[in-house]
Structure 1
């Protein structure tokens, strides 16, 4: 490479882009798995709906509290339909976890419906 380091060829993200990437990574990895786990936990209660509502509130509150310096202007880069598809793909585990918690809170998903879906219906 004639004296040039590999590092000079890497694309450096701006501080704003790093902040957004860290936020997306945290939201997807930590909060997504937490939401799925809390949804599964709430199904263990006799009446899972109130627990799922509370857990969903906690997950959404945590997401907002971790937003920190980010504002809506940081997300304006998602302008086209494909940009929004990319945003949803970046947050897929988080979205699945929140939808799972929401469906339990609304009474759509129950232990019985999961057992039926998986073929364990009695």
Structure 2
């Protein structure tokens, strides 16, 4: 029995091959089977007919350092399919800082955050 089965989707598997129709079985938060699962039992069944199903996207150039602190659910990114982000690009990062710079304080204030860290470890 699966926790979730995503049925009837057009699967883009990230290998560079063309999409193909497949069902996806998920157990314990991980994809455990891909194939024809129409008769499979699951706690939840998602009908993805007419939809593309693919692995989560990686945003390699993000500036979400403060917004993730203000909204750790990152709903706007998740709705776009982004599941992984690389932050601290362009030499702009909220950590490490030696005291609070004017720019860091201004950006944190926009998100209603109190900067109570100075090292990278404290930020994380």
TM-score scaled by structure 2? 0.23
Q: Which has the higher contact order (CA 8 A, sep 6+)?
A: 1
Higher helix share: 1
Higher strand share: 2
TM-score scaled by structure 1? 0.24
